[in-house]
């Protein structure tokens, strides 16, 4: 299924392909717990930025591998390139206009990221 999403002001819009039944992570790390991000990690081939590339700004910290993208206009973080899956895109489920039919939210212990990151590696594999 293809889903549309955006930042709050809709300066940034995108589409993502994913199944109707998905599992997303609710991470307790320092940044995710503050912004309320629900992680839907997909291969880059399943993500299309439709509008607003010029409205995005990027924030990186610590290892600088993750590229946290925010809308310069409204400050919303609809997606980013995650450290766990730099070959994929991590969509904030909350920024999709319509949600998949079945969503299972699982806790992810990002406070102990090094010990748990391997659990996410498979999510950005481009399996047809």
- The yes-or-no verdict on residue 128 having pLDDT over 60 is no
| Domains identified in the chain, total number | 1
Going from the C-alpha of 120 to that of each of 34, 60, 70, 88, the distances in angstroms are 21, 20, 22, 11
Q: Which whole number is the average pLDDT over 5-11?
A: 98
28 located within any domain: yes
The phi and psi torsions of 111 (rounded to 5 degrees) equal -65, -25
128 located within any domain: no
Q: What is the pLDDT of residues 88-117, one digit of tens each?
A: 999 999 999 999 999 999 999 999 988 998
Q: Quick check: 37 and 27 in contact, CB under 8 A?
A: yes
62 located within any domain: yes
CATH code (residue 53): 2.170.150.70
Average pLDDT score, the chain: 93
127 located within any domain: no
126 located within any domain: no
Q: Which whole number is the average pLDDT over 24-48?
A: 93
- The yes-or-no verdict on residue 127 having pLDDT over 80 is no
| Boundaries of domain holding 99 | 2-121
**What global pTM score does this model have?**
0.89
Q: What is the pLDDT of residues 75-92, one digit of tens each?
A: 999 999 998 889 999 999
102 located within any domain: yes
Report which of 38, 82, 39, 43 is spatially closest to residue 64, judged by C-alpha positions: 82
Task: Count other Cβ atoms within 10 Å, centred on residue 123.
Answer: 19
What is the rounded CA–CA span in Å between residue 117 and residue 115? 6
The predicted structure's pLDDT at residue 109: 93
Q: Quick check: 28 and 107 in contact, CB under 8 A?
A: yes
Higher pLDDT, 84 or 15: 15
Report which of 122, 47, 50 is spatially closest to residue 81, judged by C-alpha positions: 47
- The yes-or-no verdict on residue 62 having pLDDT over 90 is no
The pLDDT confidence band at residue 65, using thresholds 50, 70 and 90, is confident
């Amino acid at each position: 299924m293809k889903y549309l999403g955006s930042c709050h002001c809709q300066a940034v819009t995108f589409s993502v392909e994913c199944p109707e039944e998905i599992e997303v992570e609710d991470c307790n790390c320092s940044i995710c717990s503050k912004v309320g991000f629900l992680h839907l990690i997909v291969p880059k081939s399943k993500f299309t930025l439709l509008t607003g590339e010029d409205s995005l700004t990027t924030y990186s910290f610590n290892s600088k591998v993750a590229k946290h993208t925010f809308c310069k206009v409204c400050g919303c973080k609809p997606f980013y390139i995650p450290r766990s899956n730099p070959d994929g895109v991590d969509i904030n489920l909350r920024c999709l206009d319509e949600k998949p039919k079945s969503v299972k939210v699982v806790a992810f212990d990002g406070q102990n990221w090094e010990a748990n990151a391997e659990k996410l590696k498979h999510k950005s594999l481009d399996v047809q």
